Amino acid sequence: MTFTVLEFTVMVASVSFVAGLLGSLTGLGGGVVLVPLLTTFFHVDIRYAIGASLVSVIATSSGAAASYVKEGFSNIRIGMFLEIATTFGALLGAFLATRMPTNALAIIFGAVLLYSAFLSRKPRPQAQRNLPPDPLATRLRLNGSFPDEDGQRFYNVQRVPAGFSLMFGAGALSGLLGIGSGAVKVLAMDQAMQIPFKVSTTTSNFMIGVTAAASAGIYLSRGYVDPGLAMPVMLGVLGGSLLGSRILVKAETQSLRLVFATVILVLGLQMLYKGIWGNI
């Protein structure tokens, strides 16, 4: 069945609004569910879906940056240094995306969705880290501090090469699939580099926009960004995520995360199925 332009715009904008709202409330990001929803329910070619999703990722990351910055957790030196890795990765990812068969894209997408769902259920250890300074991190001036209940807390960044390599991978995934790949970015900073979780998530958000901009130019010039599709996706996701950052539903976040993680899991399985049985 086909929709008229008006029907299509209203429906895609509504779905994108809900995705942006849930992504913002749960901290899992809205971009990751958009591509499977667009391909499954609206029968959009995965390349158009990826182009529209990438554009919306820039909007949410940049729109949220102002409020994150005020909290004083993000570290612009860590962000800028790691953006070298993510932007080169994003170029590679966008380059691969234009050459890869759509089935392979769907399979990788499915795997990333399953990983995101798994990660969101894993309990996060709240370790009090008190690590010695790492010479390379010190030379790169990555160590920093953030406000805590009892004044400023200082932290020392560890394992810079491992984090930098993971960030290259995060950038490549972002360029390949049109997602923010915040989950991999946080993994690189929080797990590999031992950066405090709050600093990792806010710095990651700050980096997502620049990373996505690095592949957006390539997507645009290859004709992946369709105005009729990108318009409702971008406006919907941006509206949803701005609303999500304003309302506080602390009590229900846990169950909301569970619901959203289940949605991600189902969509991931579906993408894998479609990728393997050539139905995309």
Give the torsion through C-alpha atoms of 28, 166, 140, 66, to 10 deg: -20
Closest distance to other proteins from the beta carbon of 154 (Å): 7
* DSSP secondary structure letter of residue 250: T
Q: Applying CB under 8 A, which part among 14-22, 24-32, 56-64, 112-120 lies near other proteins?
A: 56-64
133 binds other proteins (CB under 8 A): yes
Asked if 41 is part of the footprint of other proteins (rule: CB under 8 A), the reply reads no
72 scored as a contact of other proteins (CB under 8 A):
yes
CA–CA separation, 31 vs 16, rounded Å? Answer: 9
Residue 217 in the binding site for other proteins (CB under 8 A): yes
Nearer to other proteins, 70 or 250 (CB): 70
Determine, following the binding rule CB under 8 A, whether residue 83 of this chain makes contact with other proteins.
yes
Q: Is 159 in the site for other proteins (CB under 8 A)?
A: no
One residue of 68, 109, 164, 260 binding other proteins per CB under 8 A: 68
Scanning residues 194 to 213, which ones bind other proteins (CB under 8 A)?
Answer: 209-210, 212-213
Beta-carbon-side half-sphere exposure of residue 133 (alpha carbons within 13 Å)? 11
Kindly tell me which of 51 and 110 has the beta carbon lying closer to other proteins.
51
Closest CA relative to residue 170, chosen from 161, 157, 179: 179
Does residue 25 sit in helix, strand or coil?
helix
- b/e burial code for range 54-74 (CB count within 10 A of at least 16 → b): bbbbbbbbbbbbeebeeeebb
What is the spatial distance between Cα 151 and Cα 142, in angstroms, rounded to a whole number? 20
Minimum distance from residue 222 beta carbon to other proteins (Å): 7
User: How near is the Cβ of 104 to other proteins at its closest, in Å?
Assistant: 15
